[in-house]
Amino acid sequence: MFTDNEQEKIQIAVFPVAGFGTRFLPATKSTPKEMLPVVDKPLIQYAVEEAYDAGIRNMVFITGRSKWSITEHYDFAYELETELEKRGKKEFMTIVDRIRPRDMNVMFIRQERAMGLGHAVLCSEPIVRNRPFAVLLADDLIYNHYGIQVLKQMCAIYERNQQGVIGVQTVPYEHTHRYGIITAGSRLDDRTYRIEDIVEKPAVEEAPSDLAVIGRYILPGRIMQILANTQTGAGGEIQLTDAIKVLLKDKTILAYRFEGERYDCGDKLGYLQANVQMGIHNRDFGEDFKEYLRSLDL
Ligand code: G1P
């Protein structure tokens, strides 16, 4: 399952999917927010495809109550697949096959209580152990319409430097209280900085910068020991950001201003924007959709 050069390449991606999705009620009362579709694919599939495209084959989902449909999405759908095969519906079979390529392993860990992102990541420790790993938050849909996808960009940086990498983006100052915010130190290049400090959801007037952490992380396995000793922080939750802050005392972690569009799909407006943008870029009907949008009397 894991190859020998495990220190050099990222082989595991962790998907924390146990959150309540309260910002998206009522849709998320019984449907996991990660299963909300953007055009025709659920959010979780975009994130898993991004990890797969970055060369990762071991996908670990941290799930909770009411999240069974995510498990189903990544399971073999016997009736559907047999039926499609019987009817010779090759095109649909390809779509279904693509969800879970044969060389991809999926693993599910149940987070009994939603105690925060840090706690969710810690739940993956029995699989991750001391290996470096990626974390993807599926409600941050990030798509580079013109080139390499973001986790692949980040894996390349990891492979070059053998240091953790966190995806960041500038946000309007008045939004800084919604994010982990970093203090950037020395630069490696135009897009990459050493992180000096990090704080979870600071008050706007206390935000050290406008560089916000967006849901893509490559972290060393060492973070697990730190998480195990991390007390609750902002919002009464065990925060990944707080553990990263401790990690910074003895490890260099890089912040990378990624190339790609990010849509906050945990938010209704962000979700609508994602659908419009992915619709516009859709190969089959993008042009027709654009024509429709142009015809609107706004
Ligand atoms: C989480 C992280 C935060 C990060 C954000 C990105 O917050 O705790 O540091 O900036 O994801 O989306 P959440 O959105 O789960 O409150």
pLDDT for 208: 96
Q: Which atom of ligand 1 is nearest to the CA of 239?
A: 8
pLDDT-above-90 percentage for the chain: 81
Rounded to an integer, what distance in angstroms lies between the CA atom of residue 258 and that of residue 151? 9
Tell me, what amino acid is at 158? Answer: Y
Structure confidence by residue, pLDDT tens digits, 236-259: 999 999 999 999 999 999 999 999
What separation in Å is there between the alpha carbon of 116 and the centre of ligand 1? 10
Q: How confident is the model at residue 6 (pLDDT cuts 50, 70, 90)?
A: low
More confident residue, 221 or 68: 221
Structure confidence by residue, pLDDT tens digits, 24-71: 899 888 899 999 999 999 999 999 999 999 999 999 999 987 788 999
pLDDT for 1: 66
pLDDT for 90: 85
Structure confidence by residue, pLDDT tens digits, 168-193: 999 999 999 999 999 999 999 999 99
pLDDT for 88: 85
What separation in Å is there between the alpha carbon of 3 and the centre of ligand 1? 31
pLDDT for 196: 97
CA–CA–CA angle 185, 186, 192 (5° rounding):
95
pLDDT for 163: 96
pLDDT for 66: 79
pLDDT for 210: 96
Q: Which atom of ligand 1 is nearest to the CA of 234?
A: 8
Q: What token pair was written down for 42?
A: 């659920």
Q: Do you know the residue count of the chain? A: 298
Q: What is the mean pLDDT of residues 125-136?
A: 96
| Terminal C-alpha separation, the chain | 53
The reply to whether ligand 1 has any atom less than 6 angstroms from the CB of 214 is yes
Q: Nearest C-alpha to atom 6 of ligand 1 is from which residue? A: 214
Rounded to an integer, what distance in angstroms lies between the CA atom of residue 42 and that of residue 15? 14
Structure confidence by residue, pLDDT tens digits, 90-100: 888 889 889 99
187 sits in which H/E element: strand 180-187
Domain ranges of the chain: 12-292
Rounded to an integer, what distance in angstroms lies between the CA atom of residue 13 and that of residue 107? 10
Superfamily of domain 12-292: Spore Coat Polysaccharide Biosynthesis Protein SpsA; Chain A (3.90.550.10)
Rounded to an integer, what distance in angstroms lies between the CA atom of residue 164 and that of residue 254? 6
Name the pTM for this structure.
Answer: 0.95
The reply to whether ligand 1 has any atom less than 6 angstroms from the CB of 215 is yes
pLDDT for 2: 65
Q: How confident is the model at residue 275 (pLDDT cuts 50, 70, 90)?
A: very high
What separation in Å is there between the alpha carbon of 4 and the centre of ligand 1? 33
Residue 283 has pLDDT above 90, yes or no: yes
141 sits in which H/E element: strand 140-143
